[in-house]
Structure 1
Amino acid sequence: MSTAVRCTWANPANPRYIAYHDDEWGVPCHDERRLFEMLNLEGAQAGLSWETILNKRDTYRAAFDDWDPVRIAAYGPDKVAELLANPGIVRNRLKVAAAISNAQAYLRLREQGQTLDGYLWGWVDNKPIRNHIGTPADRMAKTDLSDRISKDLGKRGFKFVGSTIVYAYLQGIGIVNDHDAACFRHAECARLG
């Protein structure tokens, strides 16, 4: 699909980025492990480009035990030191600590009988939001919905879940379809919801 019209942000020089755009971004996701992974990766992206995080994704999966929240919640000082020495991830103490806090908050959510899938999709009555992005100026960095989810996640103990991060997360997991209107994936993702 190299001649397909894509979102203006999709870097055509990076095959990993194109695959992410074409196969994942904006696709409604209900997989618990991927939802947890993406929440943490979006937090790791804060202050950086998504492309940087995407290029490190495989290393993140290996470093964080394939995003197993039970294992991550139990990380102690030795594992934190190992992570902070790993050049394949963003070696930021606060972001590493956030992944541990997020695993603990996720497990509390599960203890309350909720899944991340049910929690997130409940905000939109299980129906993706479809925006019309005609020009880059139509793109939003956050919305009232991302503000509300951000605030609620914070109350639940999740970290690195500011409104802008949450909005990018909602886009990535398909709760919001923000593919450019001219992008071939806009209509395809709309049919998936």
Structure 2
Amino acid sequence: MDTRCSWCGEDPLYVTYHDTEWGVPEYDARALWEKLVLDGFQAGLSWITILRKRDGFREEFEDFDPERVARWDEARIGKALQNPGIIRHRGKVAATVRGARLFLEIEEGEGFSPFLWSFVGGTPVQNRFATMAEVPTDTVESASMSKALKKRGFNFCGPVITYAFMQATGMVNDHITTCPRHADVRALSPGG
């Protein structure tokens, strides 16, 4: 019997996210940056809170255009902090602006997507967990990614956050084996 991963519950927004986005390999640099930012905003909160505010984040952060966000000054940060459509946390908003500048630096070098995907050797890790209890909250790879991001100056990117990011962006397939999405996501990977 197919059983969807239990973490999404019955909330239609959460179910749609699980069934269409979570675990799908993402290689677009800008989309990866958006997801990393949103995972950072999740710190201390539930993911459904972020999903419910995602449109507000996209509007406030100019569709997560790193070139535009990198130019924000203190006044623009202050404006964002007045928006009830996002999580109004000064440190996280400032970290997003700093992250936009760092994103641009990495893009000019090795590229943001290749940099992040290097932590899994460029190919999604295909886990085969039978229950959600088996799914880790962090791994050696997420700890390495966290350390590398922090070394470059990123914030709100500890190993638990980076592992959630890796799950969301399909760097790891953590759909349980009884979930119909496990095979679907696996098929999207090279050699699926």
Secondary structure of 1:30's partner?
A: coil
The percentage of aligned residue pairs carrying the same residue is: 45
The letter of the residue matching 1:174 is G
Q: By how many angstroms is 1:136 displaced?
A: 2.4
Q: Distance in 1 between matches of 2:108 and 2:185?
A: 32
Q: Distance in 2 between matches of 1:65 and 1:20?
A: 22
Q: By how many angstroms is 1:125 displaced?
A: 2.3
Unaligned 5+ runs, structure 1: none
Q: Distance in 2 between matches of 1:40 and 1:18?
A: 22
Q: By how many angstroms is 1:4 displaced?
A: 6.1
Q: Distance in 2 between matches of 1:23 and 1:168?
A: 16
**Matched positions, count:** 189
The letter of the residue matching 2:128 is H
| TM-score when normalising by structure 2 | 0.95
- Correspondence list, 1:36-51, <5 A: 36-51=33-48
The letter of the residue matching 2:133 is A
Contact 1:130 1:178 in 2 (8 A): yes
The answer as to 2:121 corresponding to 1:125 is yes
Equivalent position of 1:177 in the other structure? 173
Q: By how many angstroms is 1:33 displaced?
A: 1.6
CA root-mean-square deviation = 1.3
Q: Distance in 2 between matches of 1:115 and 1:58?
A: 26
Unaligned 5+ runs, structure 2: none
Q: Distance in 1 between matches of 2:147 and 2:154?
A: 10
Equivalent position of 2:59 in the other structure? 62
Q: Distance in 2 between matches of 1:69 and 1:20?
A: 24
| TM-score when normalising by structure 1 | 0.94
The answer as to 2:4 corresponding to 1:6 is yes
The letter of the residue matching 2:3 is V
Equivalent position of 1:100 in the other structure? 97
Contact 1:95 1:160 in 2 (8 A): yes
Q: 2:49 aligns with which of 45, 48, 52?
A: 52
The letter of the residue matching 1:22 is D
The answer as to 2:46 corresponding to 1:79 is no
Structure 1 runs, 4 residues or longer, greater than 4 Å off:
none
